[in-house]
Structure 1
Amino acid sequence: MTDKVKGAAVFAPDDVWLLAGKQRRPPPGRRLDSEQAAWHWDGSRWTSVPLPAQAEAIDGRSGDDIWAVGNAPDDVELTKPAALHYDGHNWRLTESPRYRFTDPSLHEPQAGLDEVLVSETGGVWATGQHTFSRGDEGNEPDDEAIPLRWNGSRWVKEAAPGVALCCVPVASDGAEGLVFGEAQRTAEGKVIGIGRPPYLPGKTGKVTDADRRQRLLLHEIERVPGTRQVWGVGYIGSGGADEKNFHHGVVVTYGSF
């Protein structure tokens, strides 16, 4: 197991799952692929476990209720969203909604999931993006955000919260909703804007007009288990390349009430 770790789910000292490394033997009829294996720690050794699709993220409520998401080959576009479930015995691929662009001239259209969130109450969300390789044309469509929710028997499409889900961190709000960098999407579908922190002083030690263009950019957000409080890490920066530009590393918190 030498490749980078893409995700981890820890349930006990003898029950740990990692998305990393290369599987030692591909299943019959499948090629060796470093993205199609998970590693399981049973307390004494690591075992490579083949996965039925490419996985990018993993999360679960217990050792016999784990989800991994990513993408799989599609018969029309390059890839389609893929969601895999582990029941304590086997990984199985579940059926996911398909995504299609109406313009057939788009280059390499593809859809996939890059985040999965499982709450203590059993709520499961998966997010990702429907995109394509952009050219020089100025009239190309926007990428499509993918928010999916597991209703207990199947994945259903949910309304996008108005943010690019591929480019911002996502966390559970503790009540089967989601928290993004700039908004909370409740389980009932309400989108609540999250106010930015107070302006930080720039290089002058005071908040000048130039400093008011600063933005908060978060690299990672996580909910405190058992609570509805979310913590994030990233930086506040003013942007630009002039002498007034600055960056401050920050830790922020949000209570999703």
Structure 2
Amino acid sequence: MRRTFLKVTGSALVAGLIVASGGPAWAATVTQVPAASAGAIGGFAGVDSVSATDGWAVGGNGNGVVQRFNGTRWSIVASPDLLNGGANNWAYLTEVDATSAANAFAVGQSTAASGGEKSAVALRWNGSAWSRQAVPKPAGTDTELTAVKAFSASDAWAVGQTASGGSTFRKTLAMHYNGATWAATPTTSPGTRTNFVTAVDGIATNDMWMAGYSLNLPYGNRIRQSMVQHWNGSAWTQVATPNNGSTYLYDVAAVSATDAWAVGFASTGGAFVIRWNGSAWNTVAAPPLASLNSVAARSGNDVWVAGSDAAGAPALANWNGASWSVTPVPAGGGATVTLSGVAFASSTTEWAVGARQDATTGQSSFIAFRVA
């Protein structure tokens, strides 16, 4: 669904269709869909869809930005000012998840102008307007939300990390919304130096996964360890996961109780994919890319990932149950495109969103692609 960035360069843009100038053979058609501008900087970080003609994408331009797809284009929808009238100096929305046209959640963080303290942000769409929700934050702590998964208007999860007193040691953070309030639930923080949670997904309120990576002391150590935790309805428990050198997990997607996928990067081997079989996470074949940053799965035979190749050019890849097919996503005019979210638009189409940076001016803008 989301989450980290991959860069795209090269080729031509013709009548909204992205046309590759080289690289792997096309496995899908990628069409750019108009998105609204929001100043000299900006970009999408996450995307979700209710139907083929109703979708949400979030990100920022120094403040939080929300856009909605109406079947033709993406347009800005009014949302709360996360800068608090100037009291904060930076804010961003990282992900959005919708259960219907009348219910969606978005999360992110806002940084105070004085002291730089970070506060987790949660917004909710009620069918007519976005409103900011109260998120508990102990005094003197930094809190950040990176991902969200909603099951209903009264059942949603958000994950991220928290630190106290300006410390660089981050602990994992998981919060649940019960229809009235957000509340933190106990989690495991395996890294003795720091921990990052990048993704959350699940098939039910008692069967959830969150993924990320951790780092152990001493301070000279730079080897990250993959991290996955499972919620069974009463507790979060760390589950053993493979590593291949320094290993990062950037996204997770659940299909069933016996099938889930997590993707990322390993310093030995590049693109990294692990799969849950109901009893253990195992390394499985990855597409021929250097890194994977986002994953969405309809079934065990229809999995989409976003990543970059050995030259740093981004691509999408699809698993059909037997093999991976790769689709490059070049940009026109020598611009750099960063894709940060992948989600399903319908039973046969996908969304990929991110930011486009102009090669001449350095300015960035929101960009969205439909994949079919």
The aligned counterpart of 1:231 is: 303
Q: Does 1:87 align with 2:169?
A: no
The aligned counterpart of 2:103 is: 15
- Tell me by how many angstroms 1:16 deviates: 1.2
Q: Does 1:218 align with 2:309?
A: no
Deviation digits for residues 99-152 of structure 1, max 9, x if unmatched? 353xxxxxxx221311111114741011122227997x5xx3622222110121
Partner secondary structure for residue 36 of structure 1 = strand
What is the one-letter code of the residue matched to 2:256? G
Q: Is the 8 A contact 1:117 1:125 kept in 2?
A: yes
What is the one-letter code of the residue matched to 1:251? A
Deviation digits for residues 229-255 of structure 1, max 9, x if unmatched? 44324467454xxxxxx9584431243
The aligned counterpart of 2:241 is: 160
Q: Which residue of 95, 120, 134 corresponds with 1:50? A: 134
Q: Does 1:186 align with 2:277?
A: yes
Q: Distance in 2 between matches of 1:123 and 1:89?
A: 22
Q: Distance in 1 between matches of 2:135 and 2:247?
A: 24
The aligned counterpart of 1:104 is: none
More strand by percentage? 2
What is the one-letter code of the residue matched to 1:66? A
Q: Which residue of 149, 152, 164 corresponds with 1:59? A: 149
Q: Any residues of structure 2 matched to 1:64-143 within 5 Å, and which?
A: 64-73=154-163, 78-101=169-192, 109-120=193-204, 122-131=206-215, 140=221, 142-143=223-224
Q: Distance in 1 between matches of 2:131 and 2:314?
A: 42
The aligned counterpart of 1:148 is: 229
**Structure 1 portions without partners, runs of 5+:** 24-30, 102-108, 197-213, 240-245
The aligned counterpart of 1:251 is: 317
Identical columns (%) = 17
CA 1:15–1:236: 2 relative to 1, 3 Å: closer
Higher relative contact order (CA 8 A, sep 6+): 2
The aligned counterpart of 1:5 is: 93
Q: Distance in 2 between matches of 1:151 and 1:22?
A: 31
What is the one-letter code of the residue matched to 1:9? D
What is the one-letter code of the residue matched to 1:183? I
CA 1:67–1:157: 2 relative to 1, 3 Å: same
Q: Distance in 1 between matches of 2:225 and 2:281?
A: 19
What is the one-letter code of the residue matched to 2:154? D
Deviation digits for residues 11-45 of structure 1, max 9, x if unmatched? 1222111114759xxxxxxx996641111111222
CA 1:32–1:43: 2 relative to 1, 3 Å: farther
**Structure 2 portions without partners, runs of 5+:** 1-63, 66-90, 137-142, 264-272, 323-372
The aligned counterpart of 1:207 is: none
Q: Is the 8 A contact 1:219 1:232 kept in 2?
A: no
| Count of aligned residue pairs for this structure pair | 215
CA RMSD, aligned part only? 3.5
Q: Is the 8 A contact 2:301 2:321 kept in 1?
A: yes
Q: Distance in 1 between matches of 2:116 and 2:315?
A: 41
Partner secondary structure for residue 98 of structure 1 = coil
Q: Distance in 1 between matches of 2:175 and 2:126?
A: 20
